[in-house]
A = this chain, B = another copy of it.
Amino acid sequence: MNDEPLKIGIAGLGTVGAATLGYLMNENARIAARAGRALQVTAIVARDRTKDRGVDTSDLRWFDDPVAMAADDGIDMFVELIGGADGVAKAAVEAALKAGKSVVTANKALLAHHGAALASLAESTPGASLHYEAAVAGGIPAVKALREGMAGNGVTRVSGILNGTCNYILTEMETTGAAFGDVLLDAQKLGYAETDPTADVGGFDAAHKLAIMAAIAFGRQMDFDGVQIEGIGDVAAEDIVAARDMGYRIRLLGVAERTAQGVSQRMRPCMAPADSALGGVMGVTNAVMLEGDAIGATLLTGPGAGGGPTASAVLADIVDVARGNCPPTFGLPAADLSPVTQDGTAIPDEGAFYLRVTLKDQPGTLAEVATALGACGVSIHRMRQHDHDGDAAPVTIVTHRCDLADVEAAKERIAALSVCTAPPVSMRIVES
């Protein structure tokens, strides 16, 4: 078998697909040497056949239909770089696995929504296997580090900064003092954010990655629905200033951890110390922190997106397949992953919280807020009324240690006050 080249079909020649194709064509001998086997791209799917991708594609078979290419005898491996949780990407990946081929994908949405079924399919079909290093944190070898490098550990916690667009926007808000909307517009102009930014700024893209890592880390069935997701759209310039005043930065932080009540998965803006491992991550960089009983903690940082870095992860998977390194999709056989038995979003979260409330500028309002907090068992550590123009006065509060549920109850109560002019915003304060 290893005397035969590994015949590769690539579906999707966007930024990542074109970069992957380029490396496989231009650096073929070097990569094949690492793979221990000849690597040959034999087929591609792309919308535009005329576009110059910097490599000679005249010898390749062009398919219009990814599903047809996925099942074609002319390929051993299907590289899926189309994207999307459903539709043609899913159909093509399924077709390839059913045909006993290896699949390499960068598609985090597909994995997060259908990972369990795809893993079962891959593991029950001789010859099939499913690889997705590029789906988590771009070029950072996070899947490999977690699934293989941490294999001896009882993993306690996986956390990280998993969306470069959000981290760029938050970093820019810090640097420029500008509002979220303005920075988002600039990011869109620079190509750091999509025209429809929901997947990124809504936290969904990062949550996909967190759910994938949690499945590996805890040997547990994929539970994307159990991720508590909050995007960065409510982060205001005042919050950035309040964080800085305390020596913190606001980061969209994903944390999956084993608690006494089960596995919690949270993706939300948090305040982290500016000098902490994750608080110190700037711009489009991604970071993944892996914690376990043997290792303690290890942190991996690097480029979370972009053609070259993501291609680096795709190529690592291709080399793994060529070498026969095909562990179970999520580290344990799909059938052995523990079932999800509890509602992850209901797991208590204790810690200090930051709160911003916007009040009418009139006597007695602060007392009403303090009363509402007290009634919910939330005790105030610090409170500050900010300079303001006009009638609406932003007040920022740091609580003593309390539970998220109490903070949520307090927010509801405050929102119902007649002196409150906008929905309160809260953020978890983390210490590392």
- Name A residues whose Cβ lies closer than 8 Å to a Cβ of B: 19, 23, 27, 30-31, 33-36, 133, 139-141, 144-145, 148-154, 219, 277, 280, 292-303, 306, 308-309, 311-316, 318-320, 323-325, 327-328, 331-333, 336
Q: A287 — nearest CB in chain B belongs to which residue?
A: B299
Q: Can you list 24 A-B contacts (CB < 8 A)? A: A19-B294, A23-B152, A30-B154, A34-B332, A35-B151, A36-B328, A139-B294, A140-B298, A141-B298, A144-B149, A145-B145, A145-B149, A151-B315, A151-B320, A153-B315, A294-B308, A294-B311, A294-B315, A295-B302, A295-B303, A296-B306, A298-B303, A323-B327, A324-B324
Decide: A296 and B153 in contact? CB cutoff 8 A. no
Decide: B319 and A148 in contact? CB cutoff 8 A. yes
Decide: A301 and B303 in contact? CB cutoff 8 A. no
Among A294, A315, A320, chain B packs the most CB atoms within 10 A around the CB of: A294
- Which chain B residues border A27 with CB–CB below 8 Å? 152, 154
- Which chain B residues border A30 with CB–CB below 8 Å? 154
Decide: B299 and A152 in contact? CB cutoff 8 A. no
Shortest beta-carbon distance from A18 to chain B in Å: 13
Contacts A139-B295, A292-B312, A325-B325 given; indicate if A148 touches B332 (C-beta within 8 A).
Answer: no
Contacts A19-B294, A302-B295 given; indicate if A34 touches B315 (C-beta within 8 A).
Answer: no
Decide: B145 and A298 in contact? CB cutoff 8 A. no
Beyond the given pairs A34-B332, A292-B312, 5 more chain A to chain B contacts, judged by CB atoms under 8 angstroms and listed by A's residue number, are A139-B296, A151-B315, A152-B319, A299-B300, A299-B301
Decide: B298 and A152 in contact? CB cutoff 8 A. no
Q: A22 — nearest CB in chain B belongs to which residue?
A: B294
Q: A144 — nearest CB in chain B belongs to which residue?
A: B149
Decide: B23 and A319 in contact? CB cutoff 8 A. no
Decide: B296 and A303 in contact? CB cutoff 8 A. yes
- Which chain B residues border A303 with CB–CB below 8 Å? 295-298
Decide: A314 and B34 in contact? CB cutoff 8 A. no
Shortest beta-carbon distance from A278 to chain B in Å: 12
Q: A34 — nearest CB in chain B belongs to which residue?
A: B151
Decide: B301 and A23 in contact? CB cutoff 8 A. no
Shortest beta-carbon distance from A292 to chain B in Å: 7
Q: A309 — nearest CB in chain B belongs to which residue?
A: B295
Decide: B308 and A298 in contact? CB cutoff 8 A. no
